[in-house]
Amino acid sequence: MEALNMNNDIYEMIHYLTMREYMKIDMLQKELHITHRQFIYRISKINQLLNERGKTELRVHDQVITVSKATNEDLKSILSEKIGLKEDYVLSRRERIICIFLMLFLNEPGMYLKIDVFSNQLQTSRTTTFSSISDLKKILVADGVQIVNNREQGYFLKGAEIDIRRVMSKFVISSLSIDHNKKKFDLVISGHGLLSYPEVLKVFQKTADRYKLNFVKSRLDELIYFLIFLRSRFCHHPLLNDYPQSLQMMTTFKEYDFSVDIIKQLNVQCSNLRTESYYLTSWILGISFGDIHADTKDKELITDWVKQLLLRFNSLSGNHYQASPKVFERLYAHIRPAYYRLLFDLPILNPLTNRAKKEYSALFSLVKETVRPYEAMFGRPIPDEEVAYLTLHFASIYFQELGIDSSEKTIKQTRKYGLIACSNGVGSSVILYNELVDMFPNIYFYHPISTHEIKDFSKPVDILFVTDSYDMPKEIDIPVVVVHPVISLDERYQLIHEVDMRMGRHSYQFENLMRIINEDTEIKCLGKLKRDLSAFLTTRSEISETPSFKKKNIKLLDIFQSSLIQLQVSATDWQDSIRIAFAPLLKKKMVTSEYVQSTVQDLKKTGPYIVITTHVALAHSRATNGALKNALGLAVLTSPVKFGSKHNDPVKYVFSLSVREDTNHITAMAELTNLLNDKGFFQCLDNSTSPQTVIDYVKKQLESQLKEGN
């Protein structure tokens, strides 16, 4: 039989097949965006691969693919095989682009690469190579990196070293996390005579064991390839030594000692060992989980950052949540690695970014505003990927407040326990957790954990949901279902069907139906009959399109009324300004006098945290202190007063907020924070003589934002 040429499409399908025991063909086609004809072709090629190795082929029957445990291991083995270019593998367009970048990345200073060098190594035509270089140029623009072409000498990369390294990191992360294919990396490594993956892995694991460091498998792969490609640039393309003195505390971390050790063991000659060690340490910390119980020199710094984030979020949202120790621990676990990623502008891949923006748009806006003051610290905007993860963490606080966790009564009534483990940490599993709770009311779900925590989880578990099967401990002996962090409606149907089959649900119906059918008919295919009956019993009508925890959101104009706005009023001090701002609400019996007094007392105890931006205060207290109705007032002062805020005094605009429930006014607060970034809004407040003019301006701006969003 003729040897099979491989490509990324086939590898993508193989990876997908390793994620489930069985799946419907139409769902697989939809997931991979392929036609039925393409599906048939790829399955035949995969079966050819299995056949060539003397392995059992995939079973395709009644529109369902079944993957046994043995076949699953065979497919994973194929993914890990070492191959050569052209004889065994055909590069895709995206892979050619990445290979060209890596070839330029590995080039020494002052050296150029001619078009024939690319064509020969990639074994592509000059026309195809020119096209790939052109595509790469467009991709690099967003990162401030250029491909410069000297007609006589060839091509080279131009840009800040930290930007060039970030691009390399993004290609590595996306290839391993999205494509699940490292073949192109192995081809470049072989073509340039670099240290191989097994060689670096051996050194890395041995050293990691000595320093007692553990890495999630997917993150470990990223770090190994990152090191392989970065090794040459340590020598020839050093980073500028312009990082803050506070980084010196990193020298006390075991991750720093590990980084220095690794650099030396890989025989890297660094012109600035300390700076490069800082960089590598930040990479390691950026893919690790922050342990609040570890006694590290940065613990006070990170703890204070988490506290300030919570305080600012509460001040912007009008909430008074007290994060439980568990929630604080989870925030710390995310904030510590995020701090080091931001410090060195290291990329992060967050598959939930668009979903977080769409599903939690108001919360996302508030979190984005919450972290805005920290942009000055890092000298750049906080990436949306980081904001999205924080959004999900704050969302988890809301879910606890809403009481969506299964009650003790539910625990006693059910015999099934479910656990969710996410390779990207608990933050990215927030949406998944709520969707699964909504889909499977008869399963009690524990709080999500990280994949690396599975082996230490001691409570009873009947079914495990994971977002990636590659980091799974091999000794798991319960049903494991691989799910996407974002589940579409069709996937919900497939998932319910799969869970029912794996857990033996509908067994009572099966037994009775089988007994009835057996009395009058002859069963030709028992497996097909069971699948058909399960599909019939699990109908789409059981599936809701959105989780049931969502509530109707209050919008800004629902609570911000002209009768609550006071223009050009005088106040003697900050306490007087708060009382003036609440006066219309008090008159309309929207708050009690105790609520106003509590707001003043809160500030005396905690400081001017309600001064949320330059010249603006958002005064509020706990709902239990006397919030009678949802309302937002505003007092525009003729003469600003000082609240004691170092960066935002004096205050001219004092908003007064009353909310009866801490969770349903987030949209209103998000709309308000957007207005506070609009200079025209403040011009309107300063120049208007009628409160209705202010309301008209707000209405116009909100309508404009709505149109832009659509």
Spatial neighbors of 15 by CB under 8 A, at least 6 apart, are 79, 180, 181
Cα torsion 11, 16, 21, 25: sign: negative
- How many residues are present in the chain? 710
Query: Are 389 and 427 in contact, with CB atoms under 8 Å apart?
Result: yes
| CATH classification at residue 397 | 1.10.1790.10
**Residue 256 within a domain:** no
563 and 685, same domain (yes or no) = yes
Q: Percentage of the chain surpassing pLDDT 90? A: 40
437 and 455, same domain (yes or no) = yes
Q: What's the rounded Cα separation, in Å, for the pair 616 and 610?
A: 8
Task: Please give the backbone phi and psi of residue 213, each rounded to the nearest 5 degrees, phi first.
Answer: -110, 135
**Residue 246 within a domain:** no
**Residue 479 within a domain:** yes
561 and 695, same domain (yes or no) = yes
DSSP sequence for 240-276: PS---GGGGGGGGSHHHHHHHHHHHHTT---SSHHHH
Residue with tokens 């890990």: 80
**Residue 265 within a domain:** no
How many domains would you assign to the chain? Answer: 5
Q: Which residues are 417's β-sheet partners?
A: 444
450 and 479, same domain (yes or no) = yes
| CATH classification at residue 627 | 3.40.930.10
Report the chain's mean pLDDT, rounded to a whole number: 83
Determine the structural domain holding residue 680 and report its residue range: 556-709
Query: Are 444 and 416 in contact, with CB atoms under 8 Å apart?
Result: yes
313 and 448, same domain (yes or no) = no
**Residue 550 within a domain:** no
361 and 495, same domain (yes or no) = no
581 and 663, same domain (yes or no) = yes
Query: Are 311 and 609 in contact, with CB atoms under 8 Å apart?
Result: yes
Cα angle 695, 312, 396; round to 5:
100
Q: Which of the listed residues 193, 223, 251 is the one where a domain comes to its end?
A: 193
Q: Residue 304: how many CB atoms within 10 A of its CB? A: 10
423 and 531, same domain (yes or no) = yes
Describe the crossing of helices 574-587 and 593-606 by its angle, rounded to 10 degrees: 150
**Residue 255 within a domain:** no
Task: Please give the backbone phi and psi of residue 678, each rounded to the nearest 5 degrees, phi first.
Answer: -110, 110
Q: What's the rounded Cα separation, in Å, for the pair 527 and 219?
A: 39
Q: What's the rounded Cα separation, in Å, for the pair 105 and 377?
A: 29
pLDDT at 219: 80
pLDDT at 23: 77
Q: Which two tokens stand for residue 598?
A: 């509590």
Amino acid at 196: S
DSSP sequence for 392-447: HHHHHHHHHHHT-SPPHHHHHH--EEEEEEETT-GGGGHHHHHHHHHH-TTEEEPP
**Residue 666 within a domain:** yes
Q: In this predicted model, what pLDDT tens digit does every residue of 241-297 receive, in sequence order?
A: 666 666 889 999 999 999 999 999 988 877 788 888 999 999 999 888 788 999 999
DSSP three-state, residue 144: coil
Q: Which residues are 591's β-sheet partners?
A: 627
pLDDT higher for 468 or 290? Answer: 290
Residue 650: cis peptide before it, omega within 30 degrees of 0: yes
Answer yes or no: pTM beyond 0.75: yes
Q: Which of the listed residues 135, 165, 193 is the one where a domain comes to its end?
A: 193
Cα angle 401, 407, 409; round to 5:
155
484 and 421, same domain (yes or no) = yes
The answer to whether residue 543 scores a pLDDT higher than 50 is: no
**Residue 499 within a domain:** yes
The answer to whether residue 172 scores a pLDDT higher than 50 is: yes
Amino acid at 484: H
Q: Which of the listed residues 80, 105, 120 is the one where a domain comes to its end?
A: 80
Q: Which two tokens stand for residue 53?
A: 């190795």
Q: Which two tokens stand for residue 97?
A: 């682009």
Q: In this predicted model, what pLDDT tens digit does every residue of 125-142 receive, in sequence order?
A: 999 999 999 999 999 999
454 and 527, same domain (yes or no) = yes
382 and 413, same domain (yes or no) = no
Query: Are 414 and 463 in contact, with CB atoms under 8 Å apart?
Result: no
Q: What's the rounded Cα separation, in Å, for the pair 97 and 134?
A: 9
pLDDT higher for 91 or 205? Answer: 205
pLDDT at 167: 96
36 and 108, same domain (yes or no) = no
Cα torsion 439, 445, 449, 450: sign: negative
Q: Which residues are 592's β-sheet partners?
A: none
* CA atoms within 13 Å, Cβ hemisphere of 500: 23
Q: In this predicted model, what pLDDT tens digit does every residue of 627-672 receive, in sequence order?
A: 999 999 999 999 999 999 988 999 999 999 999 865 578 889 999 9
